[in-house]
Each structure stands twice: as C-alpha cells, then as structure tokens.
C-alpha cells in the first residue's frame, strides 16, 4: 500500500478491511472467531477488539505464509479449549465485499457435498497476480501461485479467492505436510488443496459469478476501485428502499449509515460513520456529515459537521459548520456561516448567520442576532453561557462566558455581555456616540471621500464640479 498504515486498516465505506472480514465471519455465528496478526500487531489488535471484543487473537511467528497463519490460529483455538470437530472457515482480511450470505452459501455447499475442502473461486479476464485453480475432469486438484505457475497454468482464468471451508482433520494433517519449497519460501495454505486431493479426499470449488465479491486489495488503485463498487451497491440498496438519490455518482454513503424512506439526498453529499437520517429529511447539496442524527423533515444544505443532532423540521445551512456536541432541537435553525460546538439550541430557536456558538445553552423561541460570538475561552479555561427562552439578542453581541441571559430578555446591537441579564431586561452598553465634525476634510484632503463630503456640505458647487469633471474627461 506504500503506507505507514497496515493494509488491513485501510477503509472502505467507513469500515476497515479487517472490520469487513470480521463482520462477514461473524454472520456465520461461529463458535470462535480468530484473527491472526503479525505486521504492526498492536494497531491491528486494537482495531480487531474495537470491532468485536470477543475475537481471539493469534500471533504468527517468523515463519511466513498463509499456511503458517492457519496453524497459529489452530494452536490458539486449542489453547482456548476449543474442540476442533466442526468445519473450519478461513478467509482473508482484504476482501471487503465478501459478505455473510456468500459465506453461508459456501458452508452449506460444503456440508451438503460432503467434501473435505470447499473453496470459493471466480473467473476474471486478467488473472495476473492470483493463484490459479487447477481442475481435472471438473474436479479441483490444486492451486498454483502466480510465481510458481507454468505458462499453461498462467492462462487459466479461474482464480482462488482465498476463502475455504475445511474438514478439521484434513486441514490439520495436510498442514503437517506442507513445506516451503516454492518461489517465496512460504508455507502456502493453498498446498492443502493438492495434498487433500492426493490423499483421495474430495475438493469442491464453488464459483462466484460476481468476481467483485471476492476481489482482493493489494494497492491503493484497487482500494479506490473497491470503494467505488461498494458505494455503488450501498447507494443502489438505499434507492431500492425508498431513498431519493438525485446523483448517485456524487453520493457517498458509509456502510453503517441508516436512512429512512423518503429521505432525499442532493448531489455531492457524503454520509459517513453512523449517520441516521429520518423520513422526509433533505441532505445537500454539497454536504459532508459524520456520525450525525437528522430528524424527520429537517433540511441540511452545504454543511460540514460531525457528532451532532439535528431535530425534526430544523434547518441547517448553507455554509454551516457543526462541531461535536451540537444539539439543534425541533424547528430550530443554524444558518449561513454559523459555527457551533458543544451547544444546545432549543426548540424553534435560531442562529441565522455569521455567528459562533460554543459551550452554550439557548432556550426555546430565541433569536440570536447576526455576527454574535459566545466568547467561551479566557486563554486558560473554557466556560459555559446560557441564553433563556424567547430572547432577542442584537447583532454583533459578545457573550463573555460565563454569563446568563434570562428568559424574555433583549440585548442591543453591538453589546458586550459581561454580566448576567435578568429576565425581561434590555442589556446595552451605554457609551455615547461621538461625531468629530469635518474630520475627513481636515485629515484626508484631496480624497474622493473629502470631495463627496464637501459637496454634501455645500462647500463645492455640484454643477461646477460636474462641468469641470466633464472638461477633464
């Protein structure tokens, strides 16, 4: 991947490649689920347990190869007291489109066919880089890795998907006979197939028609292709469930997002993480929401936000920024060029434009004037302010925390609130405006402003000035 991030921790549709593999495996309701780790083990373990804390961890030693990885997994299972008497499913952690339904079908085919080994395969136009499935009279007899294949074998288009179901004794015995005599010096799990065949045991290959299901990821080009295909499937599924997506090509929806019927998604929208959007809401255009709940009938336009709640019938945007901890109640408004953080804005209250509301509580039915700032940080500590219900605050107000504005209070334009305002009071800063007459004429002579002032004061003849200007032109 040419990255400091381990391959399996790269994400597709908001979930790591490893996370997709764990979810697919968990869909089988297995007795135990094991993840084998080696490269960057601590980071991989942390992600594993974050996805599913019940997963067992097996450490692979310095012996390389997928076969050795499975041996380490079996040793971990035995150490945990697991009786190896049921089918063992092995998958790779870099096939994010592999789902529980496909694995369930594979296990059913294995049990019904009575095979010792059942594996997933698919046919691709360009099999370069993949292990080829070798068949004789239709039966699988082995898998040959690309570097070990002959020219004839490289022409085979049926490839190994690296997803298997094994009869336990077959797997254990065959792994004991796997060597490292190959181009990469690894213990290949794929060798188990040929060993089982030579032992007279049945090997079944289940062909997956949709090759995307088992497509692996080995670089960022493939990662982008898998992300695009995963997103196409997610968007199509939601449209079939009643969501209106105006432009599927510019809409990106993560796998854990929840959408209700009759939600409308406008162009250029990204819904990330665990967003939840209720019926009748309209999202976009040009919005990126992460882990945000949007209530029924709400509207969110040209907005960026995360970890926030937007109530039913509320409106947000355009050009709003919702930071974590924002809660906008029913029928509220966060308007143009407004930033909020750790703020609760009550039912029907509005912050229409050009304001910052941080560490604040606003009651119901209140209007915050334009260009207002909740000054929540004194350079050392952050403090919280409150504005009550049915208040009307003037434009260009500074609320210097911690202050409390009581219910029904008003504030004048340009007011700096440093002290609490009682309910029903009007808060103003009582400085008297001072005008310095003729300051521009004295201090800025010869400027356009000075000439305009002189004309307005009758000190320049407008008709003469106009005539002089015409002559100069």
Which residues are marked as active site? 353
Tell me the backbone φ, ψ of residue 232, rounded to 5 degrees: -60, -40
Distances (CA, A) of 229 to 18, 213, 225, 234, 252: 18, 10, 6, 9, 11
| CA gap 59, 57 in Å, rounded | 7
CB distance 314 to 322 below 8 Å: no
| CA gap 53, 272 in Å, rounded | 23
Strands 299-300 and 258-259, bridge-based pairing: unpaired
CB distance 79 to 200 below 8 Å: no
Which distant-in-sequence residues (6+ apart) come within 8 Å of 200 by Cβ?
Answer: none
CB distance 158 to 143 below 8 Å: no
| CA gap 445, 452 in Å, rounded | 11
Burial 307-336 (b: 16+ CB within 10 A, else e): bbbbbbbbbbbebbbbbebbbbbbbbbbbe
Distances (CA, A) of 209 to 3, 206, 229: 32, 10, 16
First to last CA, the chain: 68
Tell which residue, 297, 330, 335, 332, has the closest CA to residue 319: 335
Distances (CA, A) of 33 to 117, 262, 376, 427, 466: 19, 38, 48, 64, 89
Q: What is the DSSP string of 177-220?
A: T----STT----TTHHHHHHHHTT--EEEEE-S-GGGG----SH
Strands 373-375 and 244-245, bridge-based pairing: unpaired
Distances (CA, A) of 415 to 352, 373, 376: 18, 11, 16
């Amino acid at each position: 991947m040419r990255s400091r991030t381990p391959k399996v921790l790269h994400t597709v549709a908001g979930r790591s490649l490893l996370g997709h593999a764990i979810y697919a495996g968990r869909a089988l309701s297995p007795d135990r689920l094991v993840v084998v780790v080696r490269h960057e083990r601590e980071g991989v373990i942390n992600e594993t347990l974050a996805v599913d804390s019940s997963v067992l961890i097996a450490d692979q030693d310095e012996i390389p190869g997928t076969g050795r990885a499975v041996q380490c997994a079996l040793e971990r299972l035995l150490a945990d007291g697991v009786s190896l008497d049921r089918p063992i499913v092995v998958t790779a952690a870099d096939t994010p489109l592999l789902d529980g339904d496909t694995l369930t079908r594979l296990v059913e085919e294995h049990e019904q066919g009575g095979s010792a080994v059942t594996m997933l395969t698919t046919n691709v136009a360009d099999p370069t880089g993949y292990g080829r499935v070798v068949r004789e009279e239709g039966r699988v007899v082995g898998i040959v890795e690309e570097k070990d294949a002959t020219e004839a074998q490289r022409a085979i288009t049926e490839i190994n998907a690296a997803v298997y179901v094994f009869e336990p004794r077959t797997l254990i015995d065959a792994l004991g006979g796997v060597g490292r005599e190959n181009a990469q010096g690894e213990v290949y799990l794929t060798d188990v197939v040929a060993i089982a065949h030579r032992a007279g045991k049945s090997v079944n290959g289940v062909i997956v028609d949709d090759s995307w299901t088992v497509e692996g990821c080995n670089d960022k080009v493939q990662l982008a292709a898998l992300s695009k295909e995963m997103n196409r499937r997610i968007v199509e599924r939601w449209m079939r469930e009643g969501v209106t997506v105006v432009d599927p090509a510019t809409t990106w929806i993560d796998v854990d997002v929840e959408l209700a019927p009759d939600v409308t998604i406008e162009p250029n929208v990204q819904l990330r993480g665990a967003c939840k959007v209720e019926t009748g809401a309209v999202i976009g255009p040009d919005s990126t929401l992460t882990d945000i709940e949007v209530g029924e009938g709400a509207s969110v336009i040209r907005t960026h936000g995360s970890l926030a709640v937007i109530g039913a019938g509320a409106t947000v945007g355009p050009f709003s920024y919702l930071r974590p901890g924002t809660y906008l109640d029913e029928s509220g408004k966060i308007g143009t060029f407004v930033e909020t953080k750790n703020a609760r804005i009550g039912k029907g209250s509005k912050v229409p434009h050009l304001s910052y509301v941080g560490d604040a509580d606003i009651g119901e039915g209140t209007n915050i004037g334009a260009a207002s700032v909740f000054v929540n940080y004194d350079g050392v500590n952050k403090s919280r302010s409150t504005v009550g219900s049915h208040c009307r605050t003037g434009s260009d107000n500074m609320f210097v925390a911690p202050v409390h504005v009581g219910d029904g209070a008003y504030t004048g334009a340009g007011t700096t609130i440093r002290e609490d305002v009682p309910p029903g009071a009007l808060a103003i800063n009582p400085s008297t405006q001072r005008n310095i007459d003729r300051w521009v004429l004295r201090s800025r002579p010869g400027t356009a402003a000075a000439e305009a002032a002189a004309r307005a004061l009758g000190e320049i003849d407008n008709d003469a000035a106009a005539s002089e200007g015409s002559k100069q032109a």
